[in-house]
Amino acid sequence: MVCTGNICRSAMAEVVLADAAEKLGLDIEVDSAGISSEEAGNPMDYRAVRTLKEAGYDVPPHTARKIRQSDLQNFDLILAMTDGHYRGVRRLGEPAGELLMYRSFEPGATSLDVPDPWYGDMSDFRETLKTVEAATPEILRYIEDSDR
Cα–Cα distance measured from residue 141 to residue 146, given in angstroms and rounded to the nearest whole number: 9
Q: Is 90 part of the annotated catalytic residue set?
A: no
Q: Among this protein's residues, is 31 annotated catalytic?
A: no
Q: Sheet holding 2-3: strands in order across?
A: 33-34, 2-3, 77-80, 98-101
Evaluate if pTM is beyond 0.95.
yes
From the list 9, 47, 65, 103, the catalytic residue is: 9
Give the model's pLDDT for residue 106.
98
Model confidence pLDDT, tens digit, residues 14-53: 999 999 999 999 999 999 999 999 999 999 999 999 999 9
Looking at residue 147, its pLDDT comes to 75
Closest CA to 104 of 77, 85, 80, 130: 80
Which domains does the chain carry? 2-146 (3.40.50.2300)
Q: How confident is the model at residue 148 (pLDDT cuts 50, 70, 90)?
A: low
Question: Mean pLDDT of all residues in the chain?
Answer: 98
Mean per-residue pLDDT, 96-124: 98
Which residue in 19, 50, 65, 116 is the catalytic one? 116
The tens digit of pLDDT for each residue in 61-91 reads: 999 999 999 999 999 999 999 999 999 999 9
